[in-house]
Amino acid sequence: QVQVVESGGGLVQPGGSLKLACTVSAGAIASNNIGWYRQRIGDQRELVAVTINRRNTNYADFVKGRFTISRDNAKNTLYLQMNSLELEDTAVYYCRVYWNWNIYWGQGTQVTVSWGQGTQVTVSS
Q: How confident is the model over 53-92, as pLDDT tens digits?
A: 878 899 999 998 999 999 999 999 999 999 999 999 999 9
> So what's the pLDDT on residue 85?
97
Closest C-alpha among 30, 101, 121 to residue 71: 30
Can you give the pLDDT at residue 113? 96
pLDDT higher than 80, residue 117: no
Q: Give the closest residue to 107 by CA, choosing from 18, 19, 20, 17.
A: 20
Q: pLDDT of 1-44, one tens digit each? A: 899 999 999 999 999 999 999 999 978 888 889 999 999 999 99
The average pLDDT across 85-108 equals: 96
**Within 13 Å of residue 8, how many CA atoms lie on the same side as its CB?**
18
Residue 122 — very low, low, confident or very high, per pLDDT cuts 50/70/90?
confident
DSSP H/E element including 88: none
Please report the pLDDT score of residue 29 as a whole number: 86
The average pLDDT across 110-115 equals 95
pLDDT at 94 over 90: yes
Find the mean pLDDT for residues 46-53. Answer: 93
